[in-house]
Amino acid sequence: MRPVIRRARPDDVEFLVWVTMAATRSHLPRGFWDLLEPASERDRHAVIRALLGAEKPSWWHWKLFWIAEHDGRPGAALSGFDPTRLASPNAAVPAAAAACGIDGDRLAAAFRRCEPLFDCFHEPAAGAWVVESVATHPDARGRGLAGALVEHVLAEGRAGAHAIAQLSLLIGNERAQRVYERAGFAITAEKRSPSFEAALGGPGIAQMTAWLG
């Protein structure tokens, strides 16, 4: 039986905070948000909540997310969007951090900690439909939720007349890579760096592309 897939609602925000954290960690012990604010989980979560509810939507706004339910509860989620219609991460993340009191020298230090990641980020191609923040709760794994969500969000991209979809994959996450490949994605670029591996424990980030025609 296929899972129930629905748009996210305001009452899903705490689950989406977890999804956003889990997606950047992937199969590694830490991710972007851990480097941004390593000392306080409360502050990390506050920044993500600010992004999820921001007046000017960015890549992490709650309205962009789809949720797959498991036993009547959120089990997995992802977002899909046209990045040209949203605030850029370069503007949105500092604004959300500053709104949570992470500003000035503290914000500058936070972004210095994140510099190893920036060298491995991939810019979406012109006109790409972007799939982001994919995560399944451990209690709901092995039930095809992520695969069903990916198929759903690719259909959304086709309906919007996008020719391709793209996503980022932390190199070495073989479970996620298989899910994406079954949906038609293939690795089209990789960025690796020793500083990235020293910071997070993985070699870098791959960009995967699916053709939607």
Residue 14 has pLDDT above 90, yes or no: yes
Could you tell me the pLDDT band of residue 155, with boundaries at 50, 70 and 90? very high
Q: For the chain, what percent of residues have pLDDT higher than 70? A: 100
Q: Domain of 73? A: 5-211
Q: What does the pLDDT read at residue 2?
A: 81
pLDDT tens, residue by residue, 117-154: 999 999 999 999 999 999 999 999 999 999 999 999 99
Contact 196, 203 (CB under 8 A): yes
- The 8-class DSSP code of residue 10 comes to G
Using DSSP's 3-state secondary structure scheme, residue 75 falls into: strand
Nearest to 149 by CA among 212, 66, 82: 66
Strand-pair partners of 5:
68
Q: Which residues of 1-34 are buried (b: 16+ CB within 10 A; e: fewer)?
A: eebebeebeeebeebbbebbbbbbbbebeebbbb
- In angstroms, what is the C-alpha Rg of the chain? 16
**First and final C-alpha spacing in the chain:** 27
DSSP state, 183? T
Starting at the earlier edge strand, list the strands of the sheet with 73-81.
Answer: 5-7, 65-70, 73-81, 129-136, 164-170, 204-211, 186-192
Domain of 93: which CATH number? 3.40.630.30
Compute the average pLDDT of residues 181-197.
Answer: 98
**pLDDT tier for residue 213 given thresholds of 50, 70 and 90:** confident
Give the separation between CA 48 and CA 80, rounded to whole angstroms. Answer: 17
The domain tally of the chain equals 1
167 in Cβ contact with 208 (< 8 Å) = yes
Residue with the two structure tokens 């600010």: 50
The mean pLDDT of the chain is 96
